[in-house]
Amino acid sequence: MPYAHKVAPGSKVALSKIKPDDNGGMDKEEGLARFAKLNAELDVIQEELYAAGTHSVLLVLQGMDTSGKDGTIRNVLLNLNPQGVRVESFKVPTEEELAHDFLWRVHKVAPRKGEFGVFNRSHYEDVLVVRVHDLAPKEVWQARYEQINQFEALLAATGTIIVKLFLHISKGEQEERLREREQDVTKAWKLSAGDWREREYWDDYQNAYEDALERCSTEAAPWYIVPADRKWFRNLAATEVLVDTLNAYRDGWHATLDEMSKARVAELQEYRAGKPV
Ligand code: ADP
C-alpha cells in the first residue's frame, strides 16, 4: 500500500475519511530508515533528470497553514543538487500580477528541462483563498478548474512531470502547531494573527480543497493526499510519491545518457586521433 492517497481522476474526495495521523503501521524509527533510503534514491534520480535534460519536474505543494509545506521542502529536497532545484513561493498577487490572467505569473516560472521545480502554494490558491474569501466572482473561479487542467495538460505534453501533493493535517494538529509557535521564542517570528483568522474558515477551505482535488486530478497531473500530522510520515509519503512517479521515466533517461556518453567518447577519440603522438 502506498503511503499517500492518489485521487483517481473523476473520483469523489471526502477529506474527513482520510486519517491525517496515519503512520502506515510503522513506528518513527522504521519510518526514518525508509525515508533515508528513498531520499538517497531521489538524489540519484535528480542527477539523471538534470543530465538527460529531456523532462522537467514540477512538485506542487498545497495545504492549510502549518501543514508543513516548508518542512517538506527542507526535508524531502535535502540531498538534491541545489543547482537543479528551483523553489517558487506564491504570495498575495501584486498589482501587476492581478492585471494579468491568473496563470501569467505561474507559467513564467514553470521549470525548464532538467530542472526540479517546486511550487510552495501555486495556481490552486486561485480556487482556494480566492473562493473562500470571494476575491473574484463565482463564475470567474468556477471556470478556473478547467483552465488549470488545460494548463497542466500543456505542461505535461511538453515534458513536465507534475506531482501535486495536498498535505492533510487535522484541525487539532494545526492548533497545536500554532500554539507551539507562541511558546517557543525561537519560533515566534512565524506567529501570525492571520493564521488564526484563516482557521475560522477551516470548513470552507476543506470544501474548496475537496473540489480542487476532485476536479483537477487528471491522468497527466494527479493529486495525492499526504497524511501530514506526523512530520516523519509526511516526508516519507511525499518522497515515495516522487520516487515512484519518476522511476517510470528512468529507462528513457538512461537511454539518453547512453547516447550522450557514446557521442562524447567518439568525439574525444576523434580529437585524439587527429593529434600527433
Ligand atoms: P506561507 O503561509 O505560504 O508561508 P505567507 O504567510 O506569505 O506564506 O502567505 C502567503 C499568502 O498569500 C497566503 O495567505 C495565501 O493564501 C496568499 N495567496 C497566494 N496566492 C494568492 C492568490 N492568488 N490570491 C490571493 N491570495 C493568495
Digit-coded pLDDT (tens) for 28-65 = 999 999 999 999 999 999 999 999 999 999 999 999 99
> Whole-angstrom Cα distance, residue 267 to residue 79?
33
pLDDT confidence bin for 188, thresholds 50/70/90: confident
The residues, any chain, with a CB within 8 Å of residue 145's CB and separated by 6 or more, are: 127, 211, 212, 215, 216
Digit-coded pLDDT (tens) for 139-166 = 999 999 999 999 999 999 999 999 999 9
Ligand 1 atom nearest to 91, measured from its CA: 12
- The single residue listed with the C-alpha cell 538534470 is 50
Q: Contact, 25 vs 245, CB < 8 A?
A: no
Arithmetic mean of pLDDT over the chain = 96
Q: Contact, 221 vs 152, CB < 8 A?
A: yes
The pLDDT value given to residue 186: 87
Q: Which of 91-95, 159-163, 271-275 has the lowest mean pLDDT?
A: 271-275
> Whole-angstrom Cα distance, residue 24 to residue 39?
18
- Is the pLDDT reported for residue 85 higher than 90? yes
CA 44 to centroid of chain Cα atoms? 19
Q: Using a 6 Å cutoff on CB, does residue 159 contact ligand 1?
A: no
Q: Which three cell numbers stand for residue 144?
A: 478556473
Q: Using a 6 Å cutoff on CB, does residue 152 contact ligand 1?
A: no
- Is the pLDDT reported for residue 273 higher than 70? yes
The pLDDT value given to residue 277: 59
191 CA from centroid of ligand 1 (Å): 15
Regarding the domain delimited by 5-274, which CATH topology (the fold level of the hierarchy) does it fall under?
Answer: Rossmann fold (3.40.50)
- SS3 for 157-178, per residue? HCCEEEEEEEEECCHHHHHHHH
Q: Using a 6 Å cutoff on CB, does residue 99 contact ligand 1?
A: no
> Whole-angstrom Cα distance, residue 55 to residue 255?
14
Spell out the domain ranges in the chain: 5-274
